[in-house]
Structures are given as C-alpha cells and as structure tokens.
Structure 1
Amino acid sequence: MDLENAPVISMADPVQELQRLNAFIGTWHGQGISRDPKTQKMIAMKSVETFKWVPGGHFIEHRWDWSMGSDKFRGLEVIGYNADQSNFFANLYDDQGHFVTYKVIEHGGIWTYTGEKQRALLEVSSDGRTIRDRWESTENQIDWIPLCDVIWTRIINS
C-alpha cells in the first residue's frame, strides 16, 4: 500500500473534545469520607475544588484544598486532551510532593481516571450541580481498597 492510497483515519476534534471539560468549570464544595494516611481508617473530609480554563483553552487547572480532621491537603491538577491517543489525561501535583499521571476517559457523564496505583470514577449529575468522586488505591494492581467517596456540590459557575 502506498501513502497516496492509504485509508484516512478520522481522529476526534481536540477542540470539540475539550469542551466536554466544561462540566467541571466552577467552584465546588466537597463532603464525604477519605482514608486517613496515618491510621488507614475512613474519616470525614471536606474540600473546596476549583476548576478554570488555562488561557488559550487547551487545558483546565484544578486546585483542591482538603481538610481531614486537623490535616490539610492541597494540590494542582492539569487536565488536557491527547489527540494522538483519543483520550484525556490528568497530571496531579500535591503539597506532599506527589506527582501522578492518569489516563482519563469520559462516557455518558462518567469520567474514569486510571493510574498505576489509583483509579477513580467521577459521575456528573444530569443537572450538572453535583459530582460523585470515588477513588480506590492498590499496591499490586489486583486488590483495590477504597480511598475516598466524596460528593461535590457546585457553588459557583465560572
């Protein structure tokens, strides 16, 4: 087969795909449970999550501020679209020095994050006012244990 007669492969339009991220844009209050890193017990937690477009419109910036008991956790996530692989990605950085990359897929309002040691389902409600955020972690890719289960409620559309 020569290049002149090669089949045309259609790829998703990155601009159109990026618009799906509008589901997150705004400020959210989160409330739920999370595994305490010290005791491994599930404890109450709350958060403020803020999503906004980075100038240029190719990425969104997600900042979070979590409180679990007297502990605080803060971080930054950058979400974008990889046209070559036809999926989203997320790079997370936190105040504990962690850096993690996730493959992210959206289908029907459910966003699936897949990483080496963590995975998540984020379910956006049909009215766009809440997101259920459930994470699990593993040490061996076989046994998964709950990490957190949080409901975010939108407080500001940006």
Structure 2
Amino acid sequence: MYKKNEQAYEQLNKFIGNWNTKGIIPSSNNQSEIEIIGTDTYEWIVDGFFLLHKADVLIGNETSKTHEIIGYDHLNNLYTMQHYNNRGDSGFMTATVNGNIWTFTGDSLRFKGGFKENEDVFSGVWEQFTDNKTYTHLMDIKLSKKPFGY
C-alpha cells in the first residue's frame, strides 16, 4: 500500500466540513455587480485519499452546482482537481500551497487565497485568462466554516 504524504493530506484536511459561501463578481461595462451565495462541503472519500467537494451556489439568479474530486499527486508534488457541474461542463485544475497561500490553476482560471481566522475562513480572488493573454479579476470569494452540527 502507498504511504501518504502526511503533510500534503494535512493541508487538505483543513477543508473538511460545511461552509457558507459568499462572493462578488464586480460590475463591468456591460453588467452590474453579481452576488454569489450558497454552500460548499468537503468530505474524505476512497479511504481518505481524496476529497469530495460539493458546491451549491446562486450566482445572481443562476443555480450553480459542482462536484469536484481533489487528490494529491505525489509524483508532481501538487494537488489535482477534476470538476463536473449542472450545465454538463467538466474541467481540470492543479493546485499548490506555499505556506498558507493556495494557488489553483486551470486552462482559463486562476485562484490565489488562503485560510484565515484559525482556519475558519478560506478566501481569495479568482482571475480569468483573457484573449489579451493576461489575467483579469473575475470574482472575490469567501467561505466561512459552519459550526459543527450545522
């Protein structure tokens, strides 16, 4: 049996639980500010080698539901994130953590943020890769851990 990289899995363990999710997509030339509100949950699956992340949020008036499997790739020393959503889309991202700063990177999205307030808050900024080959601010997001039993 493969021996886990305990430090890598301790980082993932910080996500375990139920979270209230809030965010903002700032206004732009052709749209007003959009509020994001909902819940995220993280739980261990497959004998503790992977996390199942479920997001259920409203982005403005649109429901967004996503399931994501998060694992640790010990050969490349990074996390893998495969997601599927209620629009039939799927995608793949990788993640790294340096100190307390997490970076998620996909084909057209990037996130930077981390844990705060005794690890009861996880927040950061999502950016989107543009046709100009630069990243622009997409949204601010904040997950606040619900007390145990909620």
- TM-score normalised by L of structure 2: 0.85
Matched, 1:34 2:29: no
The aligned residue for residue 23 of structure 1 is 14
Q: Decide whether the 8 Å contact of 2:103 with 2:110 is kept in 1.
A: yes
- Residue in structure 1 matched with residue 75 of structure 2 by the alignment: 84
- Deviation of 1:34 (Å): 2.5
- Partners of 2:26 and 2:33 within 8 A in 1: yes
Match of residue 43, structure 1, among 15, 23, 34: 34
- What SS is found at the alignment partner of 2:146? strand
Higher RCO (CA < 8 A, seq sep 6+): 1
Question: Could you say which residue in structure 2 is the equivalent of 1:149?
Answer: 140
2:62 is matched with: 71
How many angstroms does 1:31 deviate by?
A: 1.2
Aligned partners of 1:73, 1:109: CA distance in 2, in Å? 28
Between the aligned partners of 1:156 and 1:75, the Cα distance in structure 2 is 23
Number of equivalent positions: 145
Within the candidate set 97, 104, 108, 2:88 is matched to 97
Of stretches 94-103 and 43-52 in structure 1, the one that deviates more from structure 2 is 94-103
What is the RMSD computed on CA atoms of the aligned residues?
2.2
Give the secondary-structure state (helix, strand or coil) at the position aligned to 2:9.
Answer: helix
How far did residue 138 of structure 1 move? 1.4
Q: Which runs of 5+ in 2 are unaligned?
A: none
Match of 2:115 among 124, 127, 134: 124
Show the counterpart of 2:49: 58
**Structure 1 runs (4+) greater than 3 angstroms displaced:** 39-42
Identity among equivalent pairs (%):
24
1:69 Cα offset (Å): 2.5
For the 8 Å contact 1:25–1:157, the answer to whether it is kept is: no
1:137 aligns with 2:128: yes
Residues 35 and 92 of structure 1, relative CA distance in 2, 3 Å threshold: farther
Cα distance in structure 2, aligned partners of 1:141 and 1:14: 39
How far apart in 2 are the matches of 1:31 and 1:126?
16
Q: How many angstroms apart in 1 are the aligned matches of 2:93 and 2:32?
A: 25
Distance 1:111 1:141 in 2: 25
TM-superposed CA distance for 1:92, in Å, is 1.3
Alignment TM-score, normalising by the size of structure 1: 0.81
Deviation at 1:157, TM superposition (A): 4.7
